[in-house]
């Protein structure tokens, strides 16, 4: 099997070389390394590909996460993304999060999130780049903004929103990603069950913690097994289809 982890924060993983070795052992051939702020974007640009091997390639994506946007660094971060736009396979992680503690306290924070997301969406459209969208608590707004901007390729990462939003995602040919949480999260399972396999990719969101265990790219097999069980398909078939989807989404070989 060949597997692609479409969303991982590699700069946060302890002993990354060993984690990459374990990923290769389970069949991971590619990882999309996502950035979320100025510092992580710099790491993705300068360091991420150093951890690739002959059997596993790391592809860079640059983003600006809605959690704790530092207004003093927004312009600098967007400028960094723009300067490196031709050397990345995607924009992300970006989006909105109305459940984030600061956003719950202030409508102004939500407005800053929307302004930044809109700018990145426009960049994705102009440069024909796919976008990896964080949409927690802001599912409808994220989907509507992506559609209205005219972005051609998008994946709604770890999507657990309402079926109304999922229908729009599918109608526009966008993707949702399945994480290891598809094995136990009621809302995430519902999305993966409803979404056609043709619109699903796999991710770990490493090093997020699932049920007390810190994720790493090798744990993509947990997402794979969960999807196969929910779809009633073989692990091999789901691996083939989701890897094909990821290659198409990110235009990687």
Residue 88 backbone phi and psi in degrees, to 5: -125, 160
pLDDT at residue 28 in the model? 98
CA-to-CA distance for 94 and 87, rounded, in angstroms?
A: 18
pLDDT at residue 199 in the model? 98
**Structural domain count of the chain:** 1
What's the Cα-to-Cα distance from 171 to each of 136, 167, 199, 248, rounded to whole Å? Answer: 20, 6, 10, 17
pLDDT at residue 107 in the model? 83
Half-sphere exposure of 18 (CA within 13 A, CB side): 3
51-55 long-range CB contacts below 8 Å, 24 or more apart?
51/10, 51/16, 51/17, 51/20, 52/20, 53/20, 53/24, 55/24, 55/29
pLDDT at residue 168 in the model? 98
Instruction: Show the tokens assigned to 213.
Output: 């265990």
Averaged pLDDT in 10-residue chunks for the chain of 253 residues: 97 98 98 98 96 97 93 96 98 96 86 97 98 98 98 98 98 98 98 98 98 98 98 98 98 93
CA-to-CA distance for 189 and 180, rounded, in angstroms?
A: 10
CA-to-CA distance for 41 and 51, rounded, in angstroms?
A: 16
CA-to-CA distance for 127 and 125, rounded, in angstroms?
A: 6
Question: How many other C-beta atoms lie within 10 A of the C-beta of residue 28?
Answer: 28
pLDDT at residue 102 in the model? 83
Helices (H), 35-100: 38-46, 74-83
pTM over 0.85: yes
* Domain extent at residue 154: 3-250
Residue 232 backbone phi and psi in degrees, to 5: 65, 35
CA-to-CA distance for 142 and 168, rounded, in angstroms?
A: 11
Which residue is listed with tokens 């090093």?
207
CA-to-CA distance for 220 and 111, rounded, in angstroms?
A: 34
CATH of residue 123's domain is: 3.20.20.140
């Amino acid at each position: 099997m060949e597997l692609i982890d479409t969303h991982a924060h590699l700069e946060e993983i302890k002993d990354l070389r060993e984690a990459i070795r374990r990923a290769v052992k389970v069949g991971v051939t590619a990882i999309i390394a996502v950035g979320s702020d100025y510092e992580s974007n710099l790491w993705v640009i300068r360091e991420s590909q150093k951890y690739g091997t002959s059997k596993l390639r790391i592809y860079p994506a640059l983003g600006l996460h809605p959690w704790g946007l530092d207004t003093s660094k927004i312009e600098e971060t967007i400028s960094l993304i723009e300067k490196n736009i031709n050397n990345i396979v995607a924009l992300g992680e970006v989006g909105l999060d109305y459940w984030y503690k600061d956003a719950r306290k202030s409508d102004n924070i939500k407005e800053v999130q929307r302004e930044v997301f809109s700018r990145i969406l426009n960049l994705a459209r102009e440069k024909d780049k796919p976008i990896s969208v964080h949409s927690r608590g802001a599912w409808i707004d994220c989907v509507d903004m992506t559609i209205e901007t005219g972005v051609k390729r998008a994946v709604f990462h770890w999507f657990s929103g309402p079926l109304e939003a999922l229908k729009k995602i599918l109608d526009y040919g966008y993707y949702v990603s399945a994480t290891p949480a598809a094995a136990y999260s009621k809302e995430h399972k519902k999305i993966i069950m409803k979404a056609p396999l043709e619109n699903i990719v796999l991710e770990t969101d490493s090093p997020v913690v699932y049920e007390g265990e810190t994720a790493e790219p090798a744990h993509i097999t947990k997402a794979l097994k969960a999807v196969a069980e929910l779809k009633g398909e073989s692990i091999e078939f789901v691996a083939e289809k989701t890897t094909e989807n990821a290659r198409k989404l990110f235009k990687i070989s």
